[in-house]
Structure 1
Amino acid sequence: MEKVPMLAEGYEKLTADLKALRQERPKIVEAIEEARAHGDLSENAEYHAAKERQGQVEATIADLEDKTSRAQIIDPTTLSGDKVIFGATVTVLDEDDKPMKYQIVGQMESDAKRGRISYDSPMGRALIGKNVGEEVEVTVPSGERFYLIEKVEFI
């Protein structure tokens, strides 16, 4: 079984989402029962919408349960070194010497606007395993981009 690396913050969000969805289950069952009471199910839009929502919620619950059961929680503050690994905060210089800072996180935690990129993204894959001072090449829609790893922190 493949582990799913994530920060403690990401794990807490997953478990909170899972708890909220589990609490939604009885409400969905009530909506289905109420819609059933209206009669003919073949033309009952409320019934079909409630059943569809139930299917979505159950699929999401199964997915979140799978991810939380395989979670490998990583605390970046316990790590150190000059090598880019999961949880590291990396400062890179682009071709114009413009500094950019990214934290390498799990897929569920990534948020480019907050500077958090997935280890599985093109940039994340290019950075993982590299050291301070190395140059990485990343394929982006506009072509190839080169970045110099300036600093690796574990905060």
Structure 2
Amino acid sequence: MGRWRPPAEKKSKYITATGYKRMNDELKYLWKVKRPEVTQAVKEAAAQGDRSENAEYIYGKKQLREIDRRVRYLSKRLDDITVVDRIPDDQGTVFFGAWVTIADEEDNEQRYRIVGPDEIEASGQLISVDSPLARQLLKKQVGDEVYLQKPDGSEIWYEVIAIEYEPY
């Protein structure tokens, strides 16, 4: 029995200039700083003798595999993506890179930035252009309403309050 996995969903090929710089910096750090450090540690651990029970050697090799996997991913992804580094002419409409403020039925406001799938983070303010909310918001203007269906089948309503773009 193999380790077959279904193919991953295709991600959008867009990224902001900030996100591109962050990914490129990570790639440079992993390749120029972290990997040589770990390689040297593995070399020193291997010189100690029996590798089969040498925890430092085994852990170092595991780290190298993880670093190499991430470097391969970043290299391929950076070659494949398109950097969006300009503000759209129509700043009153939601496009990629926009900061959008929305309000729900109880006038609770939330502010999100629509970014590429590689840029999302735990803060919750950066949402992927592939997310259901971002898809509903794209091409909307201030005052437009969007409806999202929750997993339980109910709908939630939002109104676009403000749209802003940061200069690149």
User: What interval of TM-score do these two structures reach, taking the shorter chain for normalisation?
Assistant: 0.7 to 0.9
Question: Larger helix proportion, structure 1 or 2?
Answer: 1
Which position in structure 2 is the counterpart of 1:66? 76
Q: How many residues align?
A: 155
- Corresponding residue SS for 1:42: coil
Of residues 57, 60, 65 in structure 1, which corresponds to 2:67? 57
Equivalent residues of 2:128, 2:134 under 8 A apart: yes
Of residues 75, 93, 110 in structure 1, which corresponds to 2:103? 93
- Corresponding residue SS for 1:64: helix
Instruction: Tell me the TM-score normalised to structure 2 length.
Output: 0.79
Which segments of 5 or more consecutive residues in structure 2 lack a partner in the other structure? 1-9
Letter in 2 for 1:123: L
Letter in 2 for 1:107: P
The separation in 2 between residues aligned to 1:130 and 1:78, in whole angstroms, is 14
Of residues 105, 122, 135 in structure 2, which corresponds to 1:125? 135
The separation in 1 between residues aligned to 2:162 and 2:31, in whole angstroms, is 42
Which position in structure 1 is the counterpart of 2:29? 20
Letter in 1 for 2:133: M
The separation in 1 between residues aligned to 2:131 and 2:57, in whole angstroms, is 40
Which position in structure 2 is the counterpart of 1:150? 161
- Corresponding residue SS for 1:77: coil
1:76-115 to structure 2, matched below 5 A, reads: 76-111=86-121, 113=123, 115=125
- Corresponding residue SS for 2:15: strand
The separation in 2 between residues aligned to 1:3 and 1:90, in whole angstroms, is 19
Letter in 1 for 2:36: P
| Change in 2 beyond 3 A, CA 1:95/1:76 | farther
- Percentage of matched positions with identical amino acids: 35
CA RMSD of aligned residues (A): 2.4
Equivalent residues of 2:12, 2:116 under 8 A apart: no
Which segments of 5 or more consecutive residues in structure 1 lack a partner in the other structure? none
Equivalent residues of 2:12, 2:117 under 8 A apart: no
How far did 1:77 drift?
2.5
Which stretch of the first structure deviates more once superposed, 70-79 or 55-64? 70-79
